[in-house]
Chain A
Amino acid sequence: MTTDAASHPQGSAPSQPDALVVSGVSHSFGEKRVLDTVSLTVPRGTFAVLLGPNGAGKSTLFSLITRLYDNVTGEIRILGNDVRRTPGAALQRLGVVFQSKTLDQDLSLQQNLLYHAALHGLGRPEAKRRAAEALDIVGLSDRAHEKVRNLSGGQSRRVEIARSLMHRPGCLLLDEPTVGLDIGSRESVINIVRGLVQRQGLGVLWATHLIDEIADTDLVIVLHKGKVLFSGQLPGFLAHTGAKSTREAFRIITGTTSTDEEAA
């Protein structure tokens, strides 16, 4: 493990860029405007919840950050690296857990992780070391040689988190990672990611439509119909809307009157 801090003795300089900065990004598919001048910032060591109902534009935003397609307007920076101008450096610092299952079911956990390490240009010995380290973080070390097919939903999610950590990203995106998981698995997934924020100083953007996943210390970003309606700490969110509960605050700010459980 060669730390780059060694080559930069003044590595703790004050000018440390934020994990993720999105500023003034809009996107349309044909006539339909899916994102409207979206701006948000996720500092390092922050767990940010991107809260929005289905169709709010979360997935489009993720596609833009992961450079599936380019942002035509505005700017996206991952630890200071512009996604359009220096995509290689930006993607190197970015870890992603997609909403859909993306592991090879017929391959073992370790084979899946090694494939991902190769995609980041890591050599075999280093990749194996990191696979062991990443599986240790998510608590699946003893199952490294099992096929993914044999895992439960929550366990495969944890493998996907392990995979996203293989290249040691500074910014982690998770697109509705708890969908379809039971309560126990949900908690373990959330705790693993919160642990990463604390210990590794990651900036995490956690997209969800489940309000009970928000903790008091989280940064709350509300995305609705392609617009960012609020960005700040949870107490500020409640004060801003004058609501007593997060659920109520969300209803007030998005102007949805119905108690639409799926949206809230």
Chain B
Amino acid sequence: MTVDIVRSDSAIEARYAAESPRRLGLLGYWACFRGIVWREVLRFLHQRERFFSALVRPLVWLFIFAAGFRQVLGVSIIPPYETYVLYEVYVVPGLVGMILLFNAMQSSLSMVYDRETGAMRTLLVSPFPRSFLLLSKLLGGVAVAAIQAYVFLGIFYFWEADISYPAHLALLAVPALLFTLLIFNAATEAFSETFIGRAITAAALAQIVILAGVIYYWQLPAPSMNYFTVLPALLLAGLMLGSLALFISSVIKQLENFAGVMNFVIFPMFFASSALYPLWRIRESSPLLYQICLINPFTYAVELIRFALYGQIGARLEDGSLDLTNLYVVTAYTVLFLAAAVYAYNPSKGLIARRGGPGGSA
């Protein structure tokens, strides 16, 4: 036994215990940021049900709700639109906002869940500053939401292009085959995880080739919206909603409360905004609701996305200057929510410390 102790004493010099803290340089920050975003995206790709339902939700609104409302609700010409637009076109920015909103709340749900399982704690024992960690996690969530938004915009593009008969079949063939395979496998478990993973990759590649082929063969026009300029708006709006959700995640204690988040956050924010109907319409029917819409941060996020989809930041005012209200308000709300979230997760002052900490402890 004494021999053992002597040996372990001499070993102390060499190994883990003798290492000294490394300097966390810029490369370290970059590695950390990349790692957190990478994990969020990886987790999302592994949750097929989540991807599927995240995509179906706005599509249902687009194909069913908006199609039905087309006759009921006429949209007059308001910036950024230069002509009369179909209701389906009007509602696209709102549905993109909905994707961001649901994703933000879902990642807040996962953060509450994380906190209960302890994954939030593994994040917070990282030696990097906590605000940096939380911001990285938020941007990871925004990346996931942006992927979904682009898939939705892609589908909208083909819907808008009004393609002729056989093109539908070409577009839907691979998704339908893949869907059948997944359903079949869910029922029988006939194939291995790796096989399914490869099938999905192959299907994605095949679909890209088919998309390009359809665009080329049927000479589809360029999209009516600008899919590049919308990216910064997506990131900023996503960050705003994400920090709001992060703050909420530090306040709600139980996992079940996500139903409450749906009722008290998602639905009011979505409906009391310009997502589904222009604000002047709302003012006509209810001045009070109009006021509520005006303080709703989601309204400004949707309008920011709406203008960005047409390569603009805001409407042109009468004196010729640009109306930057949307940008300013979204930025201000982002700073406010982010500060609140960082405060809530601050170890000495935060809500977690005061309340007795994440799940199970104490």
Chain A residues proximal to chain B, CB less than 8 Å:
3-5, 8, 11-12, 16, 19, 29, 34, 44-45, 57, 59-60, 62-63, 66-70, 72, 79, 81, 87-94, 96, 98-102, 104, 106-107, 111, 114-124, 147, 165, 168-170, 196-203, 217
Decide if B16 touches A121 in the complex (CB within 8 Å). no
Decide if A168 touches B43 in the complex (CB within 8 Å). no
**Which residues between 107 and 142 of chain B lie within 8 Å of chain A, taking CB atoms?**
116-119, 121-129, 133
23 contacting pairs across A/B (C-beta < 8 A)? A11-B13, A44-B17, A59-B361, A66-B124, A68-B352, A70-B348, A70-B353, A92-B127, A93-B19, A98-B118, A98-B122, A100-B359, A100-B360, A101-B117, A115-B36, A118-B34, A119-B35, A120-B28, A124-B31, A196-B16, A200-B15, A202-B17, A217-B1
The CB with the most chain A CB atoms within 10 A, among B127, B347, B348, is that of: B127
Which of A72, A79, A118, A202 sits near B32, CB closer than 8 Å? A118
> A45-B9, A88-B24 are known contacts. Are A107 and B121 too (CB-CB below 8 A)?
no
B316 contacts across to A, CB distance below 8 A: none
Decide if B361 touches A63 in the complex (CB within 8 Å). yes
Decide if B8 touches A197 in the complex (CB within 8 Å). yes
The CB with the most chain B CB atoms within 10 A, among A57, A119, A202, is that of: A119
How many residues does chain B have at the interface if contact means C-beta atoms less than 8 Å apart?
62
Decide if B36 touches A119 in the complex (CB within 8 Å). yes
Q: For the complex, what is the distance from the CA of A99 to the CA of B360, rounded to whole Å?
A: 9
> A117-B35, A118-B32 are known contacts. Are A104 and B27 too (CB-CB below 8 A)?
no
Which of B11, B29, B43, B348 sits near A104, CB closer than 8 Å? B43
> A91-B125, A200-B11 are known contacts. Are A4 and B118 too (CB-CB below 8 A)?
no
Which of A87, A98, A201 sits near B17, CB closer than 8 Å? A201
Q: For the complex, what is the distance from the CA of A183 to the CA of B42, rounded to whole Å?
A: 35
Q: Which residue of chain A lies nearest to B353 when distances are taken between CB atoms in the complex?
A: A69
> A81-B21, A102-B117 are known contacts. Are A68 and B358 too (CB-CB below 8 A)?
yes
Which of A3, A60, A107 sits near B361, CB closer than 8 Å? A60
Q: For the complex, what is the distance from the CA of A149 to the CA of B15, rounded to whole Å?
A: 32
Which of B5, B43, B133 sits near A106, CB closer than 8 Å? B43
The CB with the most chain A CB atoms within 10 A, among B5, B14, B361, is that of: B361
> A147-B193, A201-B11 are known contacts. Are A115 and B16 too (CB-CB below 8 A)?
no
With both chains docked as a complex, state the minimum distance between the C-beta of A79 and any C-beta of chain B, in angstroms.
8
Q: For the complex, what is the distance from the CA of A70 to the CA of B354, rounded to whole Å?
A: 11
Q: For the complex, what is the distance from the CA of A68 to the CA of B344, rounded to whole Å?
A: 12
Decide if B31 touches A122 in the complex (CB within 8 Å). yes
Report the 7 A-B pairs with minimum CB-CB distance, sorted nearest first.
A118-B35, A121-B28, A201-B12, A69-B353, A201-B17, A70-B348, A119-B126
> A12-B13, A34-B362, A69-B357 are known contacts. Are A116 and B34 too (CB-CB below 8 A)?
no
Decide if B38 touches A115 in the complex (CB within 8 Å). yes
B18 interface residue per 8 A CB criterion: yes
Decide if B17 touches A170 in the complex (CB within 8 Å). yes
Which of B18, B22, B121, B362 sits near A11, CB closer than 8 Å? B18
Decide if B16 touches A165 in the complex (CB within 8 Å). yes
Interface string of B335-362 (1 = CB under 8 A from A): 0000000000001101011011111111
Q: For the complex, what is the distance from the CA of A45 to the CA of B25, rounded to whole Å?
A: 30
B39 interface residue per 8 A CB criterion: yes
Decide if A199 touches B357 in the complex (CB within 8 Å). no
Extra A-B contacts (7), CB below 8 Å, given A88-B21, A170-B16: A68-B357, A69-B350, A99-B360, A119-B35, A121-B22, A168-B15, A202-B16
Q: Which residue of chain A lies nearest to B126 when distances are taken between CB atoms in the complex?
A: A119
Q: For the complex, what is the distance from the CA of A72 to the CA of B348, rounded to whole Å?
A: 8
Q: For the complex, what is the distance from the CA of A227 to the CA of B124, rounded to whole Å?
A: 27
With both chains docked as a complex, state the minimum distance between the C-beta of A65 and any C-beta of chain B, in angstroms.
10
Decide if A104 touches B119 in the complex (CB within 8 Å). yes
A111 contacts across to B, CB distance below 8 A: 39, 42
B356 contacts across to A, CB distance below 8 A: 29
B12 contacts across to A, CB distance below 8 A: 16, 44-45, 201
A3 contacts across to B, CB distance below 8 A: 14, 18-19
B219 interface residue per 8 A CB criterion: no
B46 interface residue per 8 A CB criterion: yes
Decide if A168 touches B42 in the complex (CB within 8 Å). no
With both chains docked as a complex, state the minimum distance between the C-beta of A143 and any C-beta of chain B, in angstroms.
14
Which of A44, A66, A115, A117 sits near B121, CB closer than 8 Å? A66
**Which residues between 154 and 203 of chain B lie within 8 Å of chain A, taking CB atoms?**
193
